[in-house]
A and B are shown apart, each in its own frame.
Chain A
Amino acid sequence: MYPAQFDYRRAGSVDEALGLLQEHEDAKLMAGGHSLIPMMKLRLAQPPVVIDIGRLDELKGISEAGGSVRVGSLTTHADIAASDVLAAHCPVFAEAAGHIGDAQVRNRGTIGGNIAHADPGSDIPPVLVLLGASVHLQSPSGTRSVAAGDFFQDLLMTDVGEDEILTHVDVPALGSGTGSAYLKFEHPASGYAVVGAAAAVTVQDGRCTAAGLVVGGVGAVPTTVDVSSLVGTDLSDDAIAAAASGLDAEDPIGDIFASGDYRVHVGKVYGKRALAAARDRA
């Protein structure tokens, strides 16, 4: 399978990439190419121009400062999964990245490309929504940030504007006493999440003081479950099961492998298990 013909430009800086984006209508940015190249081979995407941003070192890397971890958009899933900084401050992020595809895919795929593609079966979006991450975008007119919860708008649709580049995500560090977990029901062939549940709970003196659960794969965008009923409880299995059963999706996605109703059901089960795993790590 070949992609349709396109012109190739390689950007040497973010500014040059922004200039090329302005210059070429309908151009697409390519980092690792692990979302875009498959789309182009299937001819679902036929951009006239591809702007290769894969060598922009300024967009790579993971650093912590002031209680927040910054992950550059060109950071690969392999580097996220192996990051000591993330393991210390946002372990659920590294955990989810380690579940993406396989070793080869994680070596090429990047966080920026992953979330800009916004596949509902991706492992990262629910984690970013759970953690309250912000997504940072740059355009010729300046920079802006958008909350992860607002970034994902619909199936394969995000808040990235045509003239913007996704530069990095900032993820608040999880505090002490907080446990987190990502559990995935994986499609056996594609490796995508049929359902992926990201959970975090904070425990002080044996009582839950904060809890969160976000489930991917059920809706077009990550589904946040209201688990506030857990606050003040001792996080018993019963309380967790009741909270996770609150998962609701108005119009769940379904396909030949898993119907919408089935995804909601599995989402409740995996949500329960993710909450319990987070509790056990708190």
Chain B
Amino acid sequence: MSDITKQSLSGLVENIKSKKLSSSEVTKAFVERSEKSKELNAYITEDYTNALNKAKKFDEKPNLDLKLPGIPMAVKDLFCTKDLKTTAGSKILNNFVPTYESTVTQNIWNEGAILMGKLNCDEFAMGSSNETSFFGNVQNPIDKNLVPGGSSGGSSSAVAAQLTPITIGTDTGGSIRQPASFTGTVGLKPTYGSCSRYGIVAFASSLDQAGPMAHNVKDCALLQEVISTYDEKDSTSIDFKRNEYSKELTKDIKGKKIGIPKEYRVDGMPKEIEDLWKKGIEYAKDCGAEIIDISLPHTNYALPTYYIVAPAEASSNLARYDGVKYGFRADGENLIDMYEKTRSEGFGAEVQRRIMIGTYVLSSGYYDAYYLKAQKVRKLIKNDFDDAYKKVDAILTPSTPSSAFKIGEKTNDPVSMYLNDIFTVPVNLAGLPGISIPAGHDAKGYPLGLQIIGKAFDEQNILNIAYAMEEKINFKNNITDWWIK
């Protein structure tokens, strides 16, 4: 089967379960394609030999009752993987090999999947283009000069380029949904508390959430039901009834009320995005959903709020990278000098910028004006959604205000880079689930995504809506394998 890597996860699972394909065949196909795709720079660490060995072992005694039997998978390099280097895209962790496994990845291996390697990402997940990675930028398989989005840029690129059948990313302000949108793939950010944060290198603890990135909604639902578990090791993990999302997936969304928030019609939004949104509304109607205009009045404040809360938490979360215990250390005259050199050399510019912003907003005299106020606004943003959900079951918005931009285009303009998160950030602030599905192309032929935002713990509903719309949209990604010589 020469087209193994073109198959969806669900297709591969079916073929392995029916013994039409072995894990070794599947793993070999993805490893070979990954090896031919080095130019994309999607991987930071490859673990192909181990993967092939594990596949062989799986085939010797296959457990076909598992949900991901012998499926090879590369994951974002923000997830700690036992005995395999975990860098978070940073020089400061360039030599760090965890002795432990994150809960989310452990859940995946428990269902039979096999680790192929670690995927590139923005340094400590801080970025919207994967250009802040210490290991270099990642190319978007859509076009050589395009960013794959970020921070889960290696993940989106790897899925779109079929280097892995599916993957996981993390989403703090849009880091799953925006790259999914930029690469014509599906990305789900689950409800805060749905997936354990244990073993995930922290960026902003109150916002970080792991989630699946896939070719289609059904695959996404399957991986979500694998990774979402209650975990006592994460005090913010929530013990709620989790569905078997893939089994309960339905295209019947008749009568579902979908809200269209007027505040998302931002100034200067390209007409293409406006048109895509309108098209999305029509698709939703075609599926039998009822469209209702709603208001989320504090939307405007979401981005500034996010860029106070997230750096504040990050500035504290990243204090542990001090050269004392593990990771990179620069020699210094004394302790303070060692700290300064280690952190100046070990962190890249964007991470340093955010640490400084975060340190500033938490400083005495500024705390009330920035951090405390941001927390209050965050509550208002959450209240907006709560009010809206009295009237609607889900909310439909564009995923991003533009299609993928060019590599280097925004690197010197952090604010314009931050503006990319404008539609995704409110969802993180409110702790809600959101999914981005590919919904069309712009004039240049680049993919554009639509975002469906749900109520807390209502992943099933937005997956269903996405599943129904996906069929109507019938999106085809336009990837030419230009990087394969």
* A and B form one complex: no
What residues make up the interface of A, taking CB atoms closer than 8 Å to B? none
What residues make up the interface of B, taking CB atoms closer than 8 Å to A? none
